[in-house]
Structure 1
Amino acid sequence: MIRNAVIGILVPFIGTALGAACVFFTKHELGRGVQRALLGFAGGVMVAASVWSLIIPAIEQSEQMGRLSFIPVVAGFWGGILFLMLLDHIIPRLNNNAAKADISSGKLSKTAMLVLAVTLHNIPEGMAVGAIYAGYLSGSADITAGTAFALAMGIAIQNFPEGAIISMPLHAENKSKCRAFADGVLSGVVEIISAVITVFLAGVIIPAMPYILSFAAGAMIYVVVEELIPEMHEGERSNMGVVMFSVGFTIMMALDVALG
Structure 2
Amino acid sequence: METVYGILIPFLGTSLGAACVFFMKHSLSDRVQRSLTGFASGVMVAASIWSLLIPALEQSAAMGTWQFIPAAAGFWIGILFLLLLDRTIPHLHQNSEAAEGPGSNLQRTTMMILAVTLHNIPEGMAVGVVYAGYRLGNSGITAAGALALSLGIAIQNFPEGAIISMPLRAEGIKKSKAFAGGVLSGIVEPIGAVLTILASGFIVPVLPYLLSFAAGAMLYVVVEELIPEMSQGEHSNLGTIFFAVGFSIMMILDVALG
TM-score, normalised on structure 2?
Answer: 0.95
State which of 186, 198, 214 in structure 1 corresponds to 2:184.
Answer: 186
Aligned residue for 1:126, secondary structure, equals helix
* Shift in Å, 1:96: 5.4
Residue aligning to 1:195: 193
Counterpart residue type for residue 161 of structure 2: G
- Mapped partners of 2:104, 2:85: distance in 1: 21
Q: Which runs of 5+ in 1 are unaligned?
A: none
Write out aligned runs for 1:71-90 (5 A): 71-90=69-88
- Mapped partners of 1:14, 1:197: distance in 2: 18
Deviation string for 1:166-197 (max 9, x for gaps)? 11111122111111001110111011111112
1:142 aligns with 2:140: yes
State which of 63, 66, 72 in structure 2 corresponds to 1:65.
Answer: 63
CA gap of 1:97–1:11, structure 2 versus 1, over 3 A, is closer
> In terms of mean alpha carbon deviation, does 224-233 or 134-143 score higher?
134-143
Deviation string for 1:95-126 (max 9, x for gaps)? 45864457xx9722121111110110000000
Counterpart residue type for residue 158 of structure 1: Q
Residue aligning to 1:217: 215
Write out aligned runs for 1:21-32 (5 A): 21-32=19-30
Q: Is the contact between residue 62 and residue 72 of structure 1 (CA under 8 Å) also seen in structure 2?
A: yes
Dislocated runs of 4+, deviation >3 Å: 92-102
Q: Is the contact between residue 202 and residue 212 of structure 1 (CA under 8 Å) also seen in structure 2?
A: no
- Mapped partners of 1:101, 1:150: distance in 2: 35
CA gap of 1:59–1:180, structure 2 versus 1, over 3 A, is same
Task: Tell me which protein shows more helix as a share of its residues.
Answer: 1
Residue aligning to 1:92: 90
- Mapped partners of 1:252, 1:4: distance in 2: 20
> In terms of mean alpha carbon deviation, does 203-212 or 234-243 score higher?
203-212
Q: Is the contact between residue 94 and residue 227 of structure 1 (CA under 8 Å) also seen in structure 2?
A: no
- Mapped partners of 2:47, 2:98: distance in 1: 32
1:176 aligns with 2:195: no
Residue aligning to 1:251: 249
Residue aligning to 1:121: 119
Aligned residue for 1:107, secondary structure, equals coil
Aligned length: 256
CA gap of 1:238–1:25, structure 2 versus 1, over 3 A, is same
Aligned residue for 2:86, secondary structure, equals helix
- Mapped partners of 1:151, 1:85: distance in 2: 24
Aligned residue for 1:206, secondary structure, equals coil
Identity of aligned residues (%): 66
Residue aligning to 1:8: 6
RMSD value over aligned CA atoms?
A: 1.5
> In terms of mean alpha carbon deviation, does 86-95 or 248-257 score higher?
86-95
- Mapped partners of 1:189, 1:231: distance in 2: 23
Counterpart residue type for residue 121 of structure 2: I
CA gap of 1:90–1:101, structure 2 versus 1, over 3 A, is closer
Q: Is the contact between residue 79 and residue 217 of structure 2 (CA under 8 Å) also seen in structure 1?
A: yes
Residue aligning to 1:151: 149
Q: Is the contact between residue 36 and residue 231 of structure 1 (CA under 8 Å) also seen in structure 2?
A: yes
Q: Is the contact between residue 202 and residue 208 of structure 1 (CA under 8 Å) also seen in structure 2?
A: no
- Mapped partners of 1:206, 1:101: distance in 2: 39
CA gap of 1:175–1:93, structure 2 versus 1, over 3 A, is closer
Deviation string for 1:130-180 (max 9, x for gaps)? 011011101121111111000000000000000001111111221111110
Aligned residue for 1:142, secondary structure, equals coil
Deviation string for 1:26-58 (max 9, x for gaps)? 010000111010000000000000000001111
